[in-house]
Amino acid sequence: MPRPRTTLVALTALTAGALAAGGPASAAPAEPSPEERALAVGTGGAVATVDADATRVGLEVLASGGNAADAAVAAAAALGVTEPYSAGIGGGGFFVYYDAATRTVTTIDGRETAPLAMGAGAFLDEAGDPLPFDEAVQSGLSVGTPGTPRTWVTALEEFGTWSLSDALQGGIRLADEGFVVDETFRQQTADNEEKFRRFEATAELFLPNRALPEVGSVFRNPDLAETYRLLADKGVDPFYSGELAEDIVQTVQDPPEAAGAEEVRPGLLEGIDLALYEAPLREPTRVEYRGLEVYGMAPPSSGGSTVGEALNVLEQFPLGSLPEVPVLHHYLEASALAFADRNAYVGDPAYSQVPLAELLSDDFARERACAIDPDAALEKPTAAGNPDGEYGLCPAESEPTVGEGTEGPSTTHLTVGDAEGNIASYTLTIEQTGGSGITVPGRGFILNNELTDFTFAVADPTRPEPNLPAPGKRPRSSMAPTIVLHEGEPVLALGSPGGSTIITTVLQTLVNRIDRHMNLAEAIAAPRASQRNTATVSVEPAFIDAYGPALEALGHEFTVSEEIGAATGIEYLPGGLLLAAAEAERRGGGSAGVVHDVLGSPEAAGPDDPGLAPPLGDD
């Protein structure tokens, strides 16, 4: 790996001065203000989330001596308050953690599970046809066993230094005191207004006085504060086997529709489903890319396998020496190939054989890479490969693989790094923006609609479908929390919301940072394109403006999407510096912060300063 250039000398000198003046992170509490910043550089630890209040809560934990796991749980609890339509204890997620003491990466699978009473035809109507998607979402049938509370406890027990009670205090305070409503929160409420009005408890909580919350008003959630206090006092037992579990089951089995609202389908969740729920530790996925070790989430997430396979394919090409348009062309083609294989082979490994080792093998990547023509785009959808361990020249074309899934564009991601080098990359969700729309009465949180991530019906009876519903099964996910190391040492971490575009957002950001030599904030802000083995590429308007004609000349076709993803990340720079990066504009702008700020503002060094982008990987 090339060593950092001398442009980092000035920043390193700033670090020494900051440490001499301020002492270690635990010596004095941070005083970060709730603000939206796309870039922060400093020492003592870094946090990047989509929300300034959540970032502030995470930084307070780091400044008070907590580690990355403690701060991640605290920030996640805060996001349950300020981002209730994207995350919360009614959902689940994937937690990827690097432990600096052992130099190992471990993951926690907090994915929701199907009720034991759910079978393969759960989302079919009486005639055997798939239910309309919106009908399935807005029902108890869509609600899986939530995994988030168990994930928090597992993370703290395995990696943390704080108790759950301590980690929840910032979220409790935020729910009690409230947060200032911004345009994004109001718009998300408006987008869900029809759904929310179907359920009395949801309308009462999120439509105060039966109206949309006003921008600039303070939104409080005393019910959630009390729920957090219950968990702080008694742990997660009430959620999985006590009074709160009873409320959840009752709500799922008999959704409390508002007066006059159309009846929705009841769910299958029972007390036994909550009582049996576990958030197991799993081995991460791992690939090497340009001399870096890239770790991700294994199945039932398809994030780690699909990002990893695409990187393996891209490594067959010298992207670092290619112009922008060929780099982006190869990125789009590799993504399509990896998505074809994802759709064909990835599901819950407890229910189907996922050929993970072969999907991530270099030999399979070389075979898949031979399908990429540098001068012309593949016809989409393209066929899945055959990860059978016997590879050679490009195999004959088989039938195209479709079925990218119906994952919604919601979810949220947070990234935390502490001064010791521990990293938490955590993606959590309730699925669609607004989830199922069903709030547990008196408890202050919305239940997920994660079970609509299952494939509703078999598209091709000649091919096994790895993602049909089954008792206790975890639906396939695209969440892709990612950590990158070099020779076992931390380099960077990132992730994003966005349904199946999560995978392409993470992949494109890695290509931007490693191959296109952007700094992490620039890599996140760059215009996005998402090719998921579909006839057209989903692209942001700025991407069309910059690259559209040149890529169209190669055969790519586009569908415009106003916004793709909302990434956050951190990077360890030389000299003890940490860089935190978030979105500048997407989803209203994210929030990047450090415990001890060295730059004061991004303009102090300039976001284009090469000192913020030391070379990564092998050229």
For the chain, domain boundaries: 10-260+267-280+411-602
> Average pLDDT, stretch 588-596?
96
155-214: pLDDT as tens digits? 999 999 999 999 999 999 999 999 999 999 999 999 999 999 999 999 999 998 899 999
Return d(Cα 56, Cα 177) in angstroms, integer.
Answer: 15
pLDDT, position 1: 33
Question: Backbone dihedral region of 444: left (phi > 0), alpha (psi from -120 to 50 degrees) or beta?
Answer: left
pLDDT, position 462: 74
User: Per-residue pLDDT for 23 more than 50?
Assistant: no
pLDDT, position 618: 81
User: Per-residue pLDDT for 439 more than 50?
Assistant: yes
Closest Cα to residue 421, out of 124, 43, 122, 4? 43
Close Cβ partners of 560 (under 8 Å, ≥ 6 residues apart): 538, 539, 540, 541, 544
pLDDT, position 248: 98
Closest Cα to residue 570, out of 44, 31, 24? 44
Close Cβ partners of 584 (under 8 Å, ≥ 6 residues apart): 38, 521, 525, 590
Return d(Cα 545, Cα 548) in angstroms, integer.
Answer: 6
> Average pLDDT, stretch 464-480?
96
Residue type present at position 20: A
pLDDT, position 32: 39
Catalytic positions, written as ranges: 411
Whole-number percent of the chain with pLDDT over 70: 90
51-110: pLDDT as tens digits? 999 999 999 999 999 999 999 999 999 999 999 999 999 999 999 999 999 999 999 999
Domain boundaries 10-260+267-280+411-602, corresponding CATH code? 3.60.20.40
Return d(Cα 562, Cα 539) in angstroms, integer.
Answer: 8
pLDDT, position 24: 28
- Which string of b and e fits 49-88 if b means at least 16 CB within 10 Å? bbbbbbbbbbbbbbbbebbbbbbbbbbbbbbbbbbbbbbb
Whether the CB-CB separation of 44 and 594 falls below 8 Å is answered with: yes
497-542: pLDDT as tens digits? 999 999 999 999 999 999 999 999 999 999 999 999 999 999 999 9
341-399: pLDDT as tens digits? 999 999 999 999 999 999 999 999 999 999 999 999 999 999 999 999 999 877 655 55
> Average pLDDT, stretch 595-604?
73
The mean pLDDT value of the chain amounts to: 91
Return d(Cα 572, Cα 410) in angstroms, integer.
Answer: 28
Whether the CB-CB separation of 113 and 474 falls below 8 Å is answered with: yes
Q: What are phi and psi of 79, to 5 degrees?
A: -65, -30
DSSP H helices, 34-147, are 52-63, 68-82, 133-137
pLDDT, position 405: 47
Closest Cα to residue 332, out of 386, 293, 380? 380
> Average pLDDT, stretch 411-429?
97
User: Reduced to 3 states, what is the DSSP secondary structure of residue 427?
Assistant: strand
Closest Cα to residue 252, out of 124, 138, 141, 150? 141
Return d(Cα 407, Cα 500) in angstroms, integer.
Answer: 6
Other Cβ atoms less than 10 A from the Cβ of 326: the count is 18
Q: H/E element holding 234?
A: helix 222-234
> Average pLDDT, stretch 224-228?
98
Return d(Cα 571, Cα 563) in angstroms, integer.
Answer: 24
What would the two tokens of residue 271 be? 């007390």
Residue type present at position 227: T
pLDDT, position 4: 32
Helix axes 303-314, 324-345, angle to 10 degrees: 140
Q: What are phi and psi of 325, to 5 degrees?
A: -65, -45
User: Per-residue pLDDT for 16 more than 50?
Assistant: no
Closest Cα to residue 255, out of 477, 474, 435, 473? 435
Largest distance between two CA atoms of the chain? 72
